[in-house]
């Protein structure tokens, strides 16, 4: 099931910074000048932090199915003075439609909503540069261990290697490498 846009207000709020500080969490993976893709960006809880880390020479492609999410993120990005380095991209359920070679991809609390996991991870694998990373983070609450194991099996079949399992509050997280 796709997370309805209005539900985003329940977890995309300042209190969340206490346990998911975007810049602290993503600092190990993002360097100035990088091209980063935030898939299932929602209202951009992580997108603004990614844009700060990527710096003025970098960019973030923020991808979501729902126009309401992208509209809210657009307003936030302007308020934060980050609009020039964030590209808003509305995708379709069947395809991300992003081709830019990426240095880093984030998929936070969204992969369980994707109907065709093999296709989804193949698209990410193709858009990542060799040697680059995907950080996959799934919520502990409503993603069972067996469903997560199936997702990880798909990732391995696609060609990803699990490099690390970083500690992320309320979540299970996997840093995946391509090549
Ligand atoms: C639970 S929200 C998480 C938002 C954000 N990543 C965060 O952690 O605050 C999941 C988001 O993924 C988006 N989504 C679901 N399926 C998607 C797909 N196939 N492609 C892109 N976005 C998708 C939803 O529209 C929603 O905005």
CB 165 within 8 A of CB 133: no
Residue range 100-143, pLDDT digits in tens: 899 999 999 999 999 999 999 999 999 999 999 999 999 998 89
Predicted pLDDT at 124: 98
| Res. 10: pLDDT tops 80 | no
Instruction: Calculate how far, in angstroms, residue 143's C-alpha sits from the geometric centre of ligand 1.
Output: 14
- The DSSP secondary structure of the chain, one letter per residue, reads -PPPGGGHHHHSSGGGGGT--HHHHHTTT--TT-EEEEET-TTTTTHHHHHHHH-TT-EEEEEES-HHHHHHHHHHHHHTT-GGGEEEEE-BTTB----S-EEEEEEES-GGG-S-HHHHHHHHHHHEEEEEEEEEEEETTTS-HHHHHHHHHHHHHHT-EEEE----TTEEEEEEE--
Greatest Cα pair distance in the chain: 42
Q: In this predicted structure, what is the pLDDT of residue 153? A: 98
Residue 2 lies in a domain: no
User: Which residues constitute the domain of residue 42?
Assistant: 22-177
Residue 7 inside a domain? The answer is: no
Greater model confidence, 16 or 6: 16
Q: Separation of 148 CA from ligand 1 center, angstroms? A: 17
10 falls within a domain:
no
Q: What is the pLDDT of residue 2?
A: 79
Q: Residue 126 sits in a domain of what CATH number? A: 3.40.50.150
In a domain? residue 15: no
Tell whether 8 is covered by a domain.
no
Would you say residue 5 has pLDDT above 80? no
CB of 65 within 6 A of ligand 1: the answer is yes
Model confidence, pTM = 0.96
131 falls within a domain? yes
How many structural domains does the chain have?
1
For residue 100, the model assigns a pLDDT of 87
> To which residue do tokens 């000048």 refer?
33
For 15-59, write each residue's pLDDT tens digit: 899 999 999 999 999 999 999 999 999 999 999 999 999 999 999
- On whether residue 71 sits in a domain, the answer given is yes
Tens of pLDDT, residue by residue over 50-100, are 999 999 999 999 999 999 999 999 999 999 999 999 999 999 988 999 988
Centre of ligand 1 from the C-alpha of residue 63, in Å: 8
Pocket probe for ligand 1: among 65, 68, 72, 96, the residue whose CB has the most ligand atoms within 8 Å is: 65
pLDDT for 127: 97
The pLDDT of residue 43 is: 94
130: how many CB neighbours lie within 10 A of its CB? 8
Output the CA 72–ligand 1 centroid distance in Å.
13
2 lines ligand 1 (CB under 6 A): yes
Nearest-angstrom CA–CA distance, 19 and 111: 21
């Amino acid at each position: 099931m796709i997370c309805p846009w209005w539900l985003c207000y329940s977890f995309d709020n300042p209190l969340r910074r206490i346990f998911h500080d975007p810049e602290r969490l993503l600092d190990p993976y993002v360097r100035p000048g990088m091209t980063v893709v935030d898939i299932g960006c929602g209202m951009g809880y992580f997108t603004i932090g990614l844009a700060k880390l990527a710096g003025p020479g970098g960019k973030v492609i923020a991808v979501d199915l729902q126009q309401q999410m992208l509209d809210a993120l657009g307003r936030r990005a302007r308020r934060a003075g980050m609009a020039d380095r964030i590209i808003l991209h509305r995708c379709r359920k069947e395809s991300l439609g992003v081709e830019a070679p990426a240095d880093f991809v984030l998929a936070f609390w969204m992969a369980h909503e994707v109907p065709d996991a093999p296709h989804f991870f193949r698209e990410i694998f193709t858009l990542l540069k060799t040697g680059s990373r995907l950080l996959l983070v799934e919520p502990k609450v409503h993603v069972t261990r067996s469903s997560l194991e199936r997702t990880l099996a798909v990732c391995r079949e696609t060609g990803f290697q699990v490099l690390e399992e970083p500690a992320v509050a309320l979540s299970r997280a996997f840093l995946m490498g391509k090549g």
